[in-house]
Amino acid sequence: MFKISIASSNEEASETAFEIIRSIVTENPQPVLGLATGSSPVGLYQKMIEAYKKGLSYRSCITFNLDEYVGIDKNHEQSYYTFMHENLFNGIDIPEEQIHIPCGSNGNEDQACREYEEEISRYTVDVQVLGIGSDGHIAFNEPGTPFDSVTHIMPLTEQTRKDNARFFGGNIDLVPKTAITQGLATIMRAKKIILIATGNNKAQAVYDMISGPVTVDCPASILQRHPDVTVILDQEAASKLK
């Protein structure tokens, strides 16, 4: 079930998302946070850092990230490991051993998938933060991914590699061709989901997710079957909704 919130600015969108995270962090003895990369959650992460500076502690949190590129080292400047440390973890107090990010560079991807799924299965994610790809993907579950998928290796679509080329100096050839990602069934186990989407290039995917049929052609449409999804949009991303 979707609760849709339309923000008048990025600032307001980040604040709405942050208030949900704050209540989970303050109300649970061991909060389990599902985190995402991409530009959509960056404002939320800034709010989390600001709150830490004012006294909010994340020391008891456990985190699970959604995905990671395959074939680049975790210390590569565009790895999701680096992204998360630069945009959030270096600014707050979660101990490193409580942070989980899939590993795409140990040379044994099947094992990495199995181990990640096993580890996350030992917890219940209290809240999962999501963005959405312009092709309707969530995490790196591209169109066609089965709804019962767990952590797996995913070839990236041309569209996704084009969208993400901006992080690789605009050069699509530098964007990895595959990723390791939580599956749709993994994501659906989270108790609560917050999906943030802004900008015109997300409007169609947002419409398909909320108002289209539940189909693997739009992986995010599976969220129609989740009991608690807050969708935070700006006017542009909401522009195709009735």
CA distances from 33 to 94, 101, 102, 160, 162 (A): 11, 12, 15, 25, 29
Question: Which uninterrupted H or E stretch holds 80?
Answer: helix 80-87
Structure tokens at 233: 């949009």
How far is 136 from 212, CA to CA, in rounded Å? 11
Q: Closer to ligand GLP by CB, 61 or 187: give it.
A: 187
Residue tagged 């946070």 (tokens): 33
Q: Compute the least distance from the CB of residue 99 to ligand GLP, in Å.
A: 17
85 given a catalytic annotation: no
Give the distance from CA 105 to its chain's centroid: 20
How far is 231 from 210, CA to CA, in rounded Å? 9
Q: What are phi and psi of 62, to 5 degrees?
A: -115, 140
Q: Compute the least distance from the CB of residue 112 to ligand GLP, in Å.
A: 16
67 given a catalytic annotation: yes
Q: Closer to ligand GLP by CB, 60 or 82: give it.
A: 82
Q: Which of 109, 142, 163, 208 is an active site residue?
A: 142
Q: Compute the least distance from the CB of residue 50 to ligand GLP, in Å.
A: 20
Q: Compute the least distance from the CB of residue 189 to ligand GLP, in Å.
A: 17
Q: Which of 68, 137, 208, 226 is an active site residue?
A: 137
Question: Which uninterrupted H or E stretch holds 109?
Answer: helix 109-121
Q: Closer to ligand GLP by CB, 60 or 143: give it.
A: 143
Q: Compute the least distance from the CB of residue 70 to ligand GLP, in Å.
A: 12
How far is 111 from 115, CA to CA, in rounded Å? 6
How far is 223 from 208, CA to CA, in rounded Å? 11
Q: Closer to ligand GLP by CB, 44 or 139: give it.
A: 139
142 given a catalytic annotation: yes
- Residue ranges binding ligand GLP (CB under 6 A): 36-40, 66-67, 131-133, 139-140, 160, 164
Strand 62-65 and strand 152-155: pairing?
Answer: unpaired
Q: Closer to ligand GLP by CB, 56 or 174: give it.
A: 174
Type of residue numbered 138: I
Reference 195, options 152, 161, 230; nearest CA is 230
Strand 193-197 and strand 127-130: pairing?
Answer: parallel
Catalytic residues: 67, 135, 137, 142
